[in-house]
Structure 1
Amino acid sequence: MLPPVTAVHDIVAAITPLDDLEATHRQETLRWLESTDDVFRRVKPATPPRHLVSYVVPITAEGDILLVDHVKAGLWLPPGGHVDPGEHPADTARREAHEELGVTVDVRPVFLTATLTRSIDAGHTDVSIWYVAPGDRAWTVPASEEFHAARWWTPGEIADAGEIFDPHFRRFVRKLSSLCRFPR
């Protein structure tokens, strides 16, 4: 088994950037990974001030995406969470899908962001690996203390919504659309 930082480095290096911003985030993240042997949040909310997060983005064959109305962020986000010490980011994505959605999923990394947080836990950087997972609109999402609601968004609803998502979400959707050719 690879050491955690080596495994994360391999995941990040294998992601093909969508645009200049993702390329910058990838380059900065690879430099960070080469400068540290600890990438995990140790003390909530922000110690160390840069740490790993895994998003899991359930998506249907039609391109509908499941998002949660996150309590702390005040935004509609993919389910996900901080990578626990020693945990592989893909395992985090699967764990979060099970904890937050009550489902078992296969995941694939497709997107990388490095975001200075805002709202309640403002002031630290979440380095987020975005994993896609096959989704099913028939899923019944259990209640959670972490989000107000969960719902499926169609590509049209995403395009028409205001600034209510993660700041990189529309770029993620653009990348996903180019990879998967979902109907609009």
Structure 2
Amino acid sequence: MQAATAAVADIVRTLTPWDALERGHIAETLRWLSESDDIFRRVKPATPPRHLVSYVVLVDPDSRAVLLGLHRKAGLWLPTGGHVDPGEHPLATARRETAEEIAIEADFTVVGDAPLFLTITTTVGIGPSHEDVSLWYVIRGSRDREYALDPAEFADQRWFPLDAAELPTADPHFERFLAKLTAALLV
């Protein structure tokens, strides 16, 4: 196992699963990491057909809300983030994507600088589908501050309450992420 893959496996081993699905995703991710070092996207959009992503969720813990953007390619309301570059540490990806897509420095003081959540998702949108293994990082924001999500990536942006009765069409694991985030904020 190459050093970059081993670093990702170390991160994944530290995650406490929220539910049976996340437990399964963690187990499958560890199996995948033990069998391949080809975990970083090399050719857009789908080579290799499963690769690593760092989501970066901007959270205002005081107003209990998250900022999502309407992703142009996926047609879903998503947090910022992106594919982990070959050899890049997922936390470095989270910092880079925050700078690129929100134009701020990432502040990991909500739940720490380790990912809160892990998912495996088959993508939708333009081009061939593939699987994203996503590490969900949480950064601090404020509803009182103006943020401009990268217009090349996002057509719109909105704050959503953590306890929203109705959520937008989002990542299929977003409601589970919100439940885990809400529980983490109560600690």
Corresponding residue for 1:20? 20
Q: Which structure 1 segments of 5+ residues have no match?
A: none
| Worse overlay, 111-120 or 44-53 | 111-120
Moved over 6 A (4+): none
Corresponding residue for 1:55? 55
> Structure 2 counterpart of 1:168, which letter?
H
Corresponding residue for 1:148? 155
Query: CA contact under 8 A between 2:162 and 2:182: conserved in structure 1?
Result: no
Corresponding residue for 1:95? 96
Corresponding residue for 2:86? 85
Query: How many Å apart are 1:143 and its aligned residue?
Result: 4.4
> Structure 2 counterpart of 1:129, which letter?
L
- Pair 17,143 (structure 1): closer, same or farther in 2 beyond 3 Å: closer
User: What is the TM-score with the length of structure 1 in the denominator?
Assistant: 0.92
Partner Cα separation in structure 1 for residue 79 and residue 7 of structure 2: 23
> Structure 1 counterpart of 2:165, which letter?
A
RMSD between superposed Cα atoms in Å: 1.6
| Worse overlay, 168-177 or 143-152 | 143-152
Identity %: 53
Query: CA contact under 8 A between 1:72 and 1:121: conserved in structure 2?
Result: no
User: What is the TM-score with the length of structure 2 in the denominator?
Assistant: 0.90
Partner Cα separation in structure 2 for residue 60 and residue 89 of structure 1: 22
> Structure 2 counterpart of 1:11, which letter?
I
- Pair 21,155 (structure 1): closer, same or farther in 2 beyond 3 Å: same
Partner Cα separation in structure 2 for residue 143 and residue 127 of structure 1: 23
Task: Point out the structure with the larger helix share.
Answer: 1
Corresponding residue for 1:111? 117
> Structure 2 counterpart of 1:140, which letter?
Y
Partner Cα separation in structure 1 for residue 93 and residue 25 of structure 2: 20
Query: How many Å apart are 1:122 and its aligned residue?
Result: 4.2
Partner Cα separation in structure 1 for residue 98 and residue 165 of structure 2: 25
- Pair 122,181 (structure 1): closer, same or farther in 2 beyond 3 Å: farther
Partner Cα separation in structure 2 for residue 50 and residue 95 of structure 1: 21
Q: Which structure 2 segments of 5+ residues have no match?
A: none
Query: How many Å apart are 1:79 and its aligned residue?
Result: 0.2
What pairs with 1:129-168 in structure 2 (closer than 5 Å)?
129-137=135-143, 138-156=145-163, 158-162=164-168, 164-168=169-173
